[in-house]
Structure 1
Amino acid sequence: MSPDSTLSIGELAEHASVTVKTVRFYSDRGLLPEATRSSGGHRRYGPEALDRLRLIRSLRTLDLPVPEVSRVLEREELLEDVIAGQLRELGTQLTALRWREAALQLLQDCTPEERAERLALIGGMSTPPSTAPLARFWRFVLPARLPARLVSSILEAAVPQPPPDPTPAQVLAFARLHALTTEKRPDLCPPDRPQLPAHRPAVLYDGLGEAYGLASASLRADRPPHEGDALDCFVAAYARSFDTPDTPAFRRKLGGQLAAGSDPRMDRYWQLTAELTGSAEPTMGTAHDWLRDALTAQSAAEV
């Protein structure tokens, strides 16, 4: 084509190996501007239209939506961002397919008696699964006056991330976690909340985080609950939050409160979390239980 020549809609379609309907579709949406109209009112396109149409076809071959194609045509430097966005969306779709596949395998491999329960569990969550219900659960059980930074750190530690390529067992674990955390139980309270209200909950949870970190080394070494820095830090967190000195009497009282306040549903939460993640790393729950048992053993030895 010469720079001054124009193409009819049929000629443009033939050169680009597309249908006339396709050219008209992109023209009507403003992606393919006309150069002029013939005396009979027919569309005519300039030489640049062929390259533009070929670019549109390439972008559409990648399944880019028409609005995204329009953005790239207006500003080519946006192509990298658009591609990155499409990759993220495709990753989400692939994750959803893997979760659906694992869920179907879970249902295929179970007994008829188990199938109804598992169907109900799977039907209660989205695909790919969302951790929002788990986060809401923790926001409910945590004290209302905790600073945002503490809430964020606790959620990061307590809310497990679903694996992108789960096994059927992991699908079942997450489905049970979802059911557990969406159950309406106003009496639910985490095992590390004392029965007596703390005067300064931020002080308590700051100290508990430090104590859990110290206890993790013993848990990784598979050491039984024992006295030491981790237990002292654990008790000190409660004592400071109550504005009470750390005395043997306080330790005995705290140990009794924590033992009485233990909730098997929270134990179940941490068990399911371990099944989901497949990790042997200590969790907040296992660290708390280890420290509580260390306090109980210390108090029993002093009697």
Structure 2
Amino acid sequence: MGVMNGTTSLHSIGSLSTRTGVPVRTIRFYSDSGLLPPTQRTSAGYRCYDDAALLRLRTICVLRELDVDLASIRRVLGGSLSVTEVAAAHADATELQIRVLRRRQSVLRHLARRGSSPEEISFMHRLTSLTTGERHRLITDFIDDLTARTSTAGSEVAALRTAFPDLPDDPSDAQLAAWVELAELMTDDDFRARMARGASAAAPADEDVLPGIPAETAADLMAVARQAAGVAMEAGADPEGEDATVVVDGVVAHFAAVLGRPDSRELREWMASRFEAGHDPLVERYFRLVWTVNDWHVVPGHLPFQPWIVKVLRRPRPNERARPRK
């Protein structure tokens, strides 16, 4: 109940509680801690508060509602910290909490879809909890290890350094899932070896793809195919389109001339099978995961060329299409 002291309206703790909805015990705590000192006390020792104290209590309640700590509230009320400063600091802290909660939500959704074992759950939590610096060290170690395994700096190694996966602080479900799969690949020694084999442009790898052909010749043939297909892919050439046909016809003509074989369906099928043998779908999967993590559009020039050229090689040529029956 409010009382009058001259021209000043005073409020008891019960009256403050009724006006603000704050429990009496909370008001008493604020008062005892010095955040809300009483304006005066009655002869019986009861605390009374004026309208300024009522406003002060409402300020405390708003700041507490915004999760501002009591020490900061004390400084705001004491004038050593402005509301602007405390709001900015707590806005940043709140943004961090939101990012943490969103990432936690993404992890939970991924776990629900994946049906992981306890071991996988622990591993995934560790991967998703890495700091930005820790993630960068994991990726850099992967690239450095690949470079050390590779005798020459192949195009895939250069692409790795260009396409550096960078998980955002607030990833989507798809980005988080891609990062987990990507990190699993980067920490797998078998995949590192496979990536190194695909990244090397050295003659032995080309010799494996084109068995029975001298190393220098195999390297020349693969270089021509890799360069022609890579340029076409970078330009966005559709493997079903005429531009792709012209490019691959040129590659086939080079193979035919070097090998002394006619441009035929048999040669094209042999080339297609050899390019397939030299392509690792898991390596391609790596690059596609990077694109998802970075939220980039797929850049064809950073993807393996073999699937593109195989698709063109196996398209029926005009003179091979079935003729209508008379």
1:187-245 alpha-carbon deviations (Å, 9 max, x no partner): 99x989xxxxxxxxxxxxxxxxxxxxxxx99975358xxxxxxxxxxxxxxxxxxxxxx
- Give the structure with higher Rg (CA): 2
Partner of 1:137: 138
Q: 1:97 to 1:10 in 2, by over 3 A?
A: same
Q: 1:68 to 1:181 in 2, by over 3 A?
A: farther
Partner of 2:168: 162
Q: 1:184 to 1:56 in 2, by over 3 A?
A: farther
Q: Residue type of the partner of 1:123?
A: H
Asked if residue 17 in structure 1 is aligned to residue 17 in structure 2, the reply is: no
Q: 1:274 to 1:27 in 2, by over 3 A?
A: same
Q: 1:218 to 1:52 in 2, by over 3 A?
A: farther
SS for the counterpart of 1:124 is helix
SS for the counterpart of 1:44 is strand
| Among 62, 65, 85, the residue aligned to 2:66 | 62
CA contact (8 A) 1:220 1:281 kept: no
Choose 2-11 or 42-51, whichever is displaced more.
2-11
CA distance, structure 1, for counterparts of residue 162 and residue 29 of structure 2 = 48
CA contact (8 A) 1:10 1:20 kept: yes
CA contact (8 A) 2:11 2:48 kept: yes
1:69-93 alpha-carbon deviations (Å, 9 max, x no partner): 3333233973233333333333333
Partner of 2:102: 98
Give unmatched runs, 5+ long, in structure 1: 144-153, 193-215, 224-263, 291-303
Give unmatched runs, 5+ long, in structure 2: 145-159, 200-229, 238-280, 306-326
Percent of residue pairs bearing the same amino acid type:
29
**RMSD of aligned C-alpha atoms?**
4.7
Asked if residue 71 in structure 1 is aligned to residue 75 in structure 2, the reply is: yes
Partner of 2:296: 279
> TM-score, normalized by length of structure 2?
0.48
1:53 shift after superposition: 0.8
1:99-119 alpha-carbon deviations (Å, 9 max, x no partner): 333333333333x5x656642
Partner of 1:201: none
* Equivalent residues, number: 214
CA contact (8 A) 1:174 1:272 kept: yes
Higher RCO (C-alpha under 8 Å, 6+ residues apart)? 1
SS for the counterpart of 1:125 is helix
Partner of 1:210: none
CA distance, structure 2, for counterparts of residue 73 and residue 156 of structure 1 = 52
| Among 13, 19, 33, the residue aligned to 1:29 | 33
| Among 43, 49, 52, the residue aligned to 1:48 | 52
CA distance, structure 1, for counterparts of residue 71 and residue 232 of structure 2 = 56
Partner of 1:176: 181
Q: Residue type of the partner of 2:175?
A: Q
CA distance, structure 2, for counterparts of residue 175 and residue 73 of structure 1 = 47
CA distance, structure 1, for counterparts of residue 32 and residue 15 of structure 2 = 17
> TM-score, normalized by length of structure 1?
0.51
Matches within 5 A, 1:1-303: 4=8, 6-75=10-79, 78-110=82-114, 115=117, 118-126=120-128, 130-137=131-138, 158-162=164-168, 164-167=170-173, 169-179=174-184, 220-222=234-236, 270-280=287-297, 286=302
Q: 1:119 to 1:7 in 2, by over 3 A?
A: same
